[in-house]
Amino acid sequence: MVAKRHAAEALEELAIADSPASKRSRVDDYNKSLTPSSANETGDEVQRDTTELENGESKPLHLPDRTAKDGNDDDHDDEIEEEEQEEEEEEVRAPIRQSAPTEGYDDLYLDTIDRNVLDFDFEKLCSVSLSNINVYACLVCGRYYQGRGPKSHAYFHALDEGHHVFINMGTQKVYVLPEGYEVKSKSLEDIKYVSDPLYTRDEIAEFDHTPRTSWTLSGKEYRPGFVGMNNIKENDYLNVVVQALSHVSPLRNFFLIEDFSSKPELVKRTSILFRKIWNPRAFKSHVSPHELLQEISLRSNKRFTLTAQSDPVEFLSWFLNNLHLGLGGSKTKPGSSMIQRVFQGKLKVESQAITAKADAGDRLRFEEAAEVKVDTSRFLLLTLDLPAAPLFQDEQERNIIPQVPLTTILAKYNGVTAQDGLNAQRRRFRLLHPLPPFLMFHVKRFSQNKFVSERNPTIVTFDARNLDMAPYVEPDPTSQSHGEPIWYDLVANVVHEAVRTKDDVADSGEERKTWKAQLRDKATDEWVVAQDLFVEKIRSELLYLSESYLQIWERRDHKPNKGKGKAPAAR
């Protein structure tokens, strides 16, 4: 009987043997084996390795021959090769991200930028996800996309369309995708400035003293501060208010120079729009209020939108009050924000009950014996009432369009003329010292009853300069200017224009309201009329011929300049 041969290798030793080495380690071992020193070390280690048999005999351990392959080894090697191929494919598919451009290729892709399609006035929303977080603008097509990571919309856009240059709308940094490195070329400074214009105090100080002329990319001439505004549908009521407020010097300078990064979105978007209106390096000669309009529509619960016409004075009141609160202003403490420091004044109101003895002729005459209640209130806007328009023309046909001087309707605030108030009260008003730096007048033209809305077409005549407000202010003996005139000059005049609408079938006869702003250029002492995208010069003598609806006057500290901007007296 043949004796059983002992195993050449113990099962315990095979069980603890290392698993097949990875691709990289096997290559390293192969490279080491080519050197003589490693070959000798390997041979010595093989000779030294021994194993203990059951009978205590010691025999050399013979490693299995790797060149001899059976069927199992072939299957195992095939699996290793498949894994290696998958690893190589994954390495190829991995995105390449660079921290800096390749040496010598700093300006790569910059020639694909198209400045003619760039428009940063619209709301910064991703065109795919509609998110306003981490938005980038493609400098090739002008669209907005979110993010710049390997799974972002901007990254996919760069791969699909071959558009590689993007600017972050928050940080104003420019990146190249899909590589992901930042571009710091000085040739992009004009794009960054158009996206977010910044000014120094010296530049702002020259706005009202040095005439400036700029040119667009197409070579069109324009004057910074006097640019058109897009009327997307029915938002001209907002355009004229923004145009007028952007020429109130203290308010304009405040929004141009201060940092509002921690303020509400309404304040930040107002500042951005003001800065773009006065941009001397703009690509186009107009701006769009779309970004500000979207925030206003959200804050006002769609009371003011771009698709429905609204009243400019109603919008102005809402806008100023919300800006006041957004700037940290108080509801009770006067002068707590720039809005109140520029426009807020004090008014004395005297009220008296109408007694039964008063007839229709003297019901507004104040009685000496009756009790008079005196209150003090604050205002941002003064309302001026127009006299009733005549129903018929006179014999000489002179009253086709009635006229009234501005000083006549300002008599409401002389402290003598009484007004019919609510709850059987007669009232009279008087302005108090000191008057605010800027006065806003609202000429009340529209009245609403249960049946119809009426418009008063009366023309208000005025002198664009040298309005003396002293007759309407309560005398202040303690003031140094007691008894002296208080001069005001017109800064902006918002006018109404009625346009007949025609139906496709027949003339409906309805009137559509349109608005335009007349603005004074302090540097040249010229007047400009801005209606949506149209901006042109106008003579100061013709300002009063339109239906004035909202006026902003600036207080002047020096003597009047006579004979300039004088309007003819009303007949």
Tell me if 415 sits within 8 A of 428, measured CB to CB.
yes
| E-only strand ranges, 411-483 | 419-420, 425-431, 438-444, 446-448, 453-455, 459-461, 467-468
Share of the chain above pLDDT 90, in %: 55
Of 510, 515, 512, the closest CA to residue 496 belongs to 515
Last residue of one domain, picked from the residues 193, 226, 249: 193
Give yes or no: residues 201 and 279 share one domain: yes
- φ/ψ of 169, rounded to 5, equals -75, -10
Name the average pLDDT for the chain: 81
Tell me if 440 sits within 8 A of 423, measured CB to CB.
no
Tell me if 139 sits within 8 A of 172, measured CB to CB.
no
Give yes or no: residues 401 and 549 share one domain: yes
Look at residue 296 and tell me if it is in a domain.
yes
Give yes or no: residues 180 and 210 share one domain: no
Q: What is the pLDDT of residue 11?
A: 52
Q: Indicate the pLDDT class of residue 51, thresholds 50, 70 and 90.
A: very low
10 Å CB burial of residue 387 (0-12, 13-18, 19+) is exposed
Look at residue 134 and tell me if it is in a domain.
yes
Instruction: Give the Cα separation of 537 and 514 in Å (integer).
Output: 19
Last residue of one domain, picked from the residues 193, 226, 261: 193
**What's the mean pLDDT in 211-228?**
93
Residue 271 reports pLDDT greater than 50: yes
Give yes or no: residues 211 and 236 share one domain: yes
Give yes or no: residues 178 and 156 share one domain: yes
Q: What is the pLDDT of residues 339-367, one digit of tens each?
A: 999 999 999 998 888 776 655 556 667 76
Look at residue 75 and tell me if it is in a domain.
no
Of 167, 125, 129, the closest CA to residue 290 belongs to 125
Pairing type for strands 459-461 and 403-405 reads: parallel
Q: What is the pLDDT of residue 477?
A: 73
Give the CATH number, domain containing residue 513: 3.90.70.10
Residue 137 vs residues 39, 156, 169, 270: alpha-carbon distances, Å: 61, 14, 7, 21
Q: What is the pLDDT of residues 83-122, one digit of tens each?
A: 666 555 554 455 667 777 766 566 788 999 999 999 898 8
Give yes or no: residues 357 and 319 share one domain: no
Give yes or no: residues 422 and 535 share one domain: yes
Give yes or no: residues 322 and 448 share one domain: no
The residue with greater pLDDT, 372 or 25, is 372
**What's the mean pLDDT in 185-202?**
93
Residue 242 vs residues 183, 258, 273, 302, 542: alpha-carbon distances, Å: 36, 18, 9, 18, 23
Look at residue 97 and tell me if it is in a domain.
no
Domain count, the chain: 3
Give yes or no: residues 299 and 442 share one domain: no
Look at residue 6 and tell me if it is in a domain.
no
Look at residue 565 and tell me if it is in a domain.
no
Tell me if 343 sits within 8 A of 438, measured CB to CB.
yes
Give yes or no: residues 424 and 518 share one domain: yes
Q: pTM of this prediction?
A: 0.78
Q: What is the pLDDT of residues 320-329, one digit of tens each?
A: 999 999 999 9
Last residue of one domain, picked from the residues 136, 161, 193: 193
Give the CATH number, domain containing residue 132: 3.30.40.10
Name residue 536's amino acid.
Answer: E
Look at residue 561 and tell me if it is in a domain.
no
Give yes or no: residues 396 and 539 share one domain: yes
Per the structure, the complete domain to which residue 270 belongs is given by 197-326
SS3 153: helix
Look at residue 91 and tell me if it is in a domain.
no
Q: How far apart are the first and last CA of the chain?
A: 147
Q: What is the pLDDT of residues 490-503, one digit of tens each?
A: 999 999 998 876 65
Give yes or no: residues 420 and 529 share one domain: yes
